[in-house]
Amino acid sequence: MPLDIVRVPVLSDNYAWLVHDTESGETVAIDPGEAGPVLAAAADRGWRIDHVWTTHWHPDHTGGNAAIKAQGATITGPGAEATKIPTLDVRVGEGDSVSLGAHVARVMTVPGHTQGHIAFHFADDAVIFTGDTLFAMGCGRLFEGTPADMFANMQRYAALPDETAVFCGHEYTQSNGRYALVAEPDNAAIARRMIDVDAARARGEATVPTTIALEKATNPFLRATSAAQLGDYRAAKDAFKG
């Protein structure tokens, strides 16, 4: 049975995700930046949140942990950031597996945005949760790492199957796309995608999830051919007023 995945907008532009396995009835909340909307979205569906999976310590991804834990959930996240995630129950890192019923997600350590940042890859379901590392047409800011760190992450993401659905932590696509048009002015796929993105945002619709195939065609950070090029793009995007 496929996983049932629900997008829950929280804070100003964050996405928390509810993932539900219909066979076992288990539900995980990924990166609940606040508890209220996530608990409500679960309750609407008659789901109880058994697990919280945290990609990194930033408060816009962990702000809801304590309240959801108080309702009985177990909190799993990066062991390398345990001191910054006081709610953490289960510490994981590269190569570990976490499960939701019979569905298994492999943990990838993908540093750079934060030093212990992790992603959750359900290979059999062709689904990955990338937090603040891979975004639609962008990547996370390098608060605790280097362009080489993020370049290595992007190489790993680019090696995933094209059809892999990418669920990230923010609705940044339109802003990222405006910069992508500048970074790669001759890339027609970016220009075409931006027509769709602008239309979706004008209708108030989300642009996430994306896919590895779409990012390989339109994401300058995933398409960068060196750490130096990724670093140049990252610095330019940080200063970009699009």
Site for Zn ion, rule CB under 5 A: 58, 132
Q: Is 60 in the site for Fe ion (CB under 5 A)?
A: yes
Element spanning 178, H or E: helix 173-183
Of the candidate residues 132, 149, 171, 215, the single one contacting Fe ion (CB under 5 A)? 132
Strand partners, 8: 16
83 or 225: CB nearest Zn ion? 83
Candidate list 20, 21, 31, 56, residue with the active-site label:
56
Element spanning 14, H or E: strand 14-20
Amino acid in the structure at residue 71:
Q
Min dist. Cβ of residue 21 to Zn ion (A) = 27
- With a CB cutoff of 8 Å and minimum separation 6, the contacts of 139 are 112, 113, 133, 150, 153, 154, 219, 221, 222, 230, 234
Of these partners, Zn ion, Fe ion, none, which one is at the site of residue 64 (CB under 5 to 8 Å by kind)? none
Min dist. Cβ of residue 140 to Fe ion (A) = 7
Output Rg (C-alpha) for the chain, integer angstroms: 17
Q: Is 31 in the site for Fe ion (CB under 5 A)?
A: no
27 or 173: CB nearest Zn ion? 173
Residues identified as active-site = 56, 58, 60-61, 113, 132, 170
